[in-house]
Amino acid sequence: MIGDRMKEARLRLGYSAEQVAAFLGTSPATIYRYENGDISKLPSKYIKPLADFLCVTPAYLMGWSDSGSSSVPDAPVTHEARIISFAVDSMPPEHREKALKMFSAVYSDYIQKAEDKIG
């Protein structure tokens, strides 16, 4: 059941097994083994991050609920934005501040260059 739900959510979002594996820090073969039922027990450390990444609730992912509503209502849309968002969320506060400053600087540079092109 976990594997079926992982695969369904992954495909719905357009993710490859490689993208899910990279997010979890495991191999694509391991993801396929979960999805095919060769591995039935998902380590507890993966449940919440994987559910968030796949925009389902942990209860849905584990088969404890049939409601698959998103546990991340305002989740970033693109794969890249999800990885950045979840990476930043997992950082300690001092690293979050550094990451925010870095992204703010890059975004400001992007906006400035776009404005320069316009006018």
Q: Please answer whether residues 7 and 58 qualify as being in contact, where contact means their C-beta atoms are separated by less than 8 angstroms.
A: no
Q: Please answer whether residues 60 and 66 qualify as being in contact, where contact means their C-beta atoms are separated by less than 8 angstroms.
A: yes
Contacts 24+ apart (CB under 8 A), 9-15: 9/54, 9/55, 9/56, 9/61, 9/68, 10/35, 10/54, 13/54, 13/55, 14/79, 15/54, 15/79
Average pLDDT over residues 110-114: 84
pLDDT in tens, 1-58: 889 999 999 998 888 999 999 989 999 999 999 999 999 889 999 999 999 888 888 9
Q: Please answer whether residues 75 and 85 qualify as being in contact, where contact means their C-beta atoms are separated by less than 8 angstroms.
A: yes
Instruction: Give all domains of the chain, ordered by start, each with its CATH number.
Output: 2-62 (1.10.260.40), 79-118 (no CATH)
Residues 6+ apart with CB under 8 A from 55: 9, 13, 70, 71, 72, 75
pLDDT in tens, 57-78: 899 999 898 876 554 445 566 7
